[in-house]
């Protein structure tokens, strides 16, 4: 058997079902072997885009995504998307071809090991035919256990050699399946902290959602009279289950939520690392003591400190034991659960500020939230426009955000395409800026080619929105950030999908209804005003108490 076949077989044994990437001399044999084994190949228009899709796939599936490139230039294209995936702690394996082993004069030669290190990616080399299968196992093992991207680099001459086909042991078989139980002394300490508290906040993160600990969180919230907040990655989770949900903890919280959270004297974090975004470097909870439940051995929070009580445990088990312990000690708090707090959390109506032919971005978000059913997942993009959706989407649905993952624009549509593939081609929409969408425009054609039902809502202010508003605040010329765009609805149609350019709320509703009736690759180019500045920008750039 050829090495590329052994490699392909090992990928299949690791559970690889979908591979994104571009074919070239150094990976085409391997791709051919994958296709023969039933793996679906998604040929993209740029290797970095393929990696973005594999990133989205992995985040949605909760297991390693796979991207492939040829040698040298193919690998070099991965840079930005790889760093994003690394910052997002996405488990991923990049199968990269390589020029013949040792031939540094080859035109496509690149020191791929050093390049991988520079783009924050682990590296495993296929240096001998007899170690090929072991290299695949190691790459997947590292991706799973370290939750990060790993580059598996295979010289083309090694790939074409013969080797034995031994029984392959998937990396999952090397991982123990154990539940981590909380230390009883830790449960005791947590009870004491809660007993001494008056205003408790529970922060649910991505880890709690993955552990499906919703019911246990709601029970603890009820026992402790707590406000429930989420991290950005768990946005809107459980918001339809309690009247004391304050949305995202951090800069994206509304004014009432920010004020209430600052009154907390106890924070219970579940599956949330409490990074500096969530706790605003500690400023959001100046008087609070922290209880943190996480499976990691240890976590340093975003204020540079460790929790007052850290419980290394599975979320469901720890929460169940904590609730039982509170009940047995008759600890029960009213905390925030008062009529006054409910009143404060009522969102006041907003007066929209449209201009002829351009919508208020807040109205756009409201229409999207109303018209798109909760089963349609959401991915939030980048730039100034993202703030509106991140703060204002209210409906409970699957939400993925790329905020804070290297700050690169253009990634969100790629993540969405990957996530849709992982979810069995269920429709999802992404809200993205015009510059971001245009950066990887050719991949909309990829979505059309594979009939991936992605809805791209382009919040089109015909500018680099973030730079426009920062220039305004800094006394620079904002017009330098203005870049006109063509009608992107027509562009989408030309690429083989559905499309519309809308300038009124009615036109937007009509275009959304068309997508809901017939989900297919679609772009809705929504023209928005630049006159509305988002709440986070008003806070950051102008110090406004809003």
Partner 1 sequence: MITITEEIAVPSTPSRVWEIISDPAEVVSCISGAELGASHEDGSFDGTLVVKFGAVRVKFAAVVALELDPETLEGRLTARGRDGQRATRFTAEATFRVRQGDGETRVQVDGEISLNGKLASLVEAGAGAVVSRMTKEFSDQLIQRCAPERAPEAAPGIALVTTTTTPPARSLFGRLRAWWARLRRKEAHAKAE
CA-derived radius of gyration, the chain: 25
- CA angle 52/53/59 to nearest 5° reads 90
Those residues with Cβ within 8 angstroms of residue 48's Cβ, 6 or more apart along the chain or in another chain: 77, 78, 79, 80, 81, 82
Q: Does 348 help bind partner 1 (rule: CB under 8 A)?
A: no
Q: Does 258 help bind partner 1 (rule: CB under 8 A)?
A: yes
Q: Does 471 help bind partner 1 (rule: CB under 8 A)?
A: no
- Going by C-alpha positions, the residue among 92, 101, 125 that lies closest to residue 11 is 92
H/E segment holding residue 96: strand 92-98
Q: Shortest gap between Cβ of 248 and partner 1 (angstroms)?
A: 13
Q: Does 546 help bind partner 1 (rule: CB under 8 A)?
A: yes
Q: How far is the C-alpha of 467 from the C-alpha of 41, rounded, in Å?
A: 38
Q: Does 300 help bind partner 1 (rule: CB under 8 A)?
A: no
Q: Shortest gap between Cβ of 540 and partner 1 (angstroms)?
A: 5
Binding mask of the shown chain, residues 420 to 459, with x at each position contacting partner 1 by CB under 8 A: ----------------------------------------
**For partner 1, which is the closer residue by CB, 351 or 545?**
545
Query: Strand pairing partners for 500?
Result: 524
H/E segment holding residue 155: strand 149-155
Q: How far is the C-alpha of 268 from the C-alpha of 220, rounded, in Å?
A: 10
Q: Does 259 help bind partner 1 (rule: CB under 8 A)?
A: yes
Q: Does 303 help bind partner 1 (rule: CB under 8 A)?
A: yes
Q: Shortest gap between Cβ of 270 and partner 1 (angstroms)?
A: 23
Q: Does 267 help bind partner 1 (rule: CB under 8 A)?
A: no
H/E segment holding residue 444: helix 442-449
Q: In this chain, which of 470, 503, 509, 520 binds partner 1, going by CB under 8 A?
A: 470
Q: Shortest gap between Cβ of 259 and partner 1 (angstroms)?
A: 7
The region of 72-80, 91-99, 255-263, 373-381 touching partner 1 under the rule CB under 8 A is 255-263
Cβ atoms 369, 395 nearer than 8 A: yes
- CA angle 401/407/413 to nearest 5° reads 50
The region of 45-53, 70-78, 251-259, 320-328 touching partner 1 under the rule CB under 8 A is 251-259
Q: Shortest gap between Cβ of 155 and partner 1 (angstroms)?
A: 44
Q: Shortest gap between Cβ of 528 and partner 1 (angstroms)?
A: 23
Q: Shortest gap between Cβ of 272 and partner 1 (angstroms)?
A: 19
Binding mask of the shown chain, residues 269 to 298, with x at each position contacting partner 1 by CB under 8 A: -------x---xxxxx-x------------
For residue 35 the two structure tokens come to 């296709």
H/E segment holding residue 74: helix 73-76
Q: Shortest gap between Cβ of 406 and partner 1 (angstroms)?
A: 16
Please count the residues of this chain forming the interface with partner 1, following the rule CB under 8 A.
27
For residue 213 the two structure tokens come to 């600990």
**For partner 1, which is the closer residue by CB, 31 or 464?**
464
For residue 195 the two structure tokens come to 């007993």
Cβ atoms 155, 126 nearer than 8 A: yes
Q: Shortest gap between Cβ of 433 and partner 1 (angstroms)?
A: 20
**For partner 1, which is the closer residue by CB, 281 or 329?**
281
**Helices (H), strands (E): how many in the chain?**
24, 18
Put the strands of the sheet holding 149-155 in their side by side order.
40-43, 18-21, 65-69, 92-98, 149-155, 122-125
**For partner 1, which is the closer residue by CB, 70 or 273?**
273
Longest dimension (CA), the chain: 75
**For partner 1, which is the closer residue by CB, 131 or 471?**
471
H/E segment holding residue 43: strand 40-43
Burial label, 250 (beta-carbon count in 10 A; 0-12, 13-18, 19+): buried
Q: Does 39 help bind partner 1 (rule: CB under 8 A)?
A: no
Q: In this chain, which of 50, 91, 253, 497 binds partner 1, going by CB under 8 A?
A: 253
Query: Rule CB under 8 A: which residues touch partner 1?
Result: 251, 253, 255, 258-259, 262, 276, 280-284, 286, 303-304, 470, 473-474, 538-546
């Amino acid at each position: 058997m050829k090495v590329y076949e052994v490699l392909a077989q090992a990928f299949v044994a690791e559970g690889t079902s979908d591979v994104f990437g571009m074919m070239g001399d150094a990976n085409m044999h391997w791709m051919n072997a994958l296709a023969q084994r039933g793996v679906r190949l998604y040929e993209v228009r740029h290797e970095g885009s393929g990696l973005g899709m594999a990133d989205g796939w992995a985040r949605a599936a909760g297991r390693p995504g796979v991207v492939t490139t040829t040698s040298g230039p193919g690998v070099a294209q991965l840079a930005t998307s790889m760093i994003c995936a690394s910052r997002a702690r996405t488990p991923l394996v990049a199968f990269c071809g390589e020029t013949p082993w040792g031939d540094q004069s080859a035109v496509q030669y690149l020191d791929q090991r050093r390049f991988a290190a520079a783009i924050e990616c682990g590296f495993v080399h296929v240096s001998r035919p007899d170690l090929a299968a072991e290299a695949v196992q190691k790459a997947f093992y590292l991706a799973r256990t370290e939750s990060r991207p790993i580059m598996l680099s295979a010289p083309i001459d090694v790939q074409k050699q013969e080797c034995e086909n031994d029984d392959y042991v998937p990396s999952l078989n090397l991982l123990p399946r154990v539940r981590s139980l909380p230390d009883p002394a830790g449960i005791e300490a947590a009870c004491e902290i809660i007993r001494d508290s008056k205003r408790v906040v529970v922060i649910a993160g991505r880890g709690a959602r993955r552990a499906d600990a919703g019911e246990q969180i709601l029970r603890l919230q009820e026992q402790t009279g707590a406000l429930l907040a989420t991290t950005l990655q768990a946005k809107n989770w459980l918001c339809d289950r309690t009247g004391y949900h304050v949305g995202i903890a951090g800069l994206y919280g509304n004014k009432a939520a920010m004020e209430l959270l600052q009154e907390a004297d106890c924070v219970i974090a579940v599956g949330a690392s409490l990074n500096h975004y969530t706790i605003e470097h500690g400023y959001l909870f100046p008087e609070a003591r922290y209880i943190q439940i996480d499976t990691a051995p240890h976590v340093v929070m975003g204020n540079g400190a460790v929790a007052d009580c850290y419980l290394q445990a599975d979320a469901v088990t720890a929460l169940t034991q904590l609730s039982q312990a509170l009940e047995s000690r008759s600890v029960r708090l009213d905390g925030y659960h008062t009529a006054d707090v409910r009143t404060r959390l009522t969102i006041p109506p907003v007066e929209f500020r449209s201009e002829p032919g351009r919508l208020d971005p807040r109205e756009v978000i409201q229409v999207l939230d109303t018209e798109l059913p909760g089963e349609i997942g959401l991915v939030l993009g980048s730039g100034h426009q993202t703030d509106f959706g991140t703060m204002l989407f209210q409906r409970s649905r699957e939400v993925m955000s790329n905020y804070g993952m290297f700050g690169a624009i253009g990634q969100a549509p790629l993540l969405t395409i990957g996530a849709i593939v992982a979810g069995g081609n269920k429709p999802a929409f992404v809200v993205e800026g015009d510059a971001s969408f245009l950066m990887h425009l050719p991949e909309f054609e990829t979505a059309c080619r594979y009939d991936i039902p992605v809805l791209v809502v382009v919040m089109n202010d015909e500018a680099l929105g973030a730079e426009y508003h920062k220039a305004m605040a800094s006394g620079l010329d904002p017009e330098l950030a203005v870049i006109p765009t063509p009608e992107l609805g027509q562009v989408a149609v030309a690429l083989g999908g559905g499309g519309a350019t809308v300038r009124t709320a009615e036109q937007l509703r009509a275009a959304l209804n068309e997508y809901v009736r017939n989900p297919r690759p679609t772009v809705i180019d929504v023209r928005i005003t630049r006159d509305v500045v988002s709440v986070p920008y008003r806070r950051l750039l102008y110090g406004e108490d809003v």
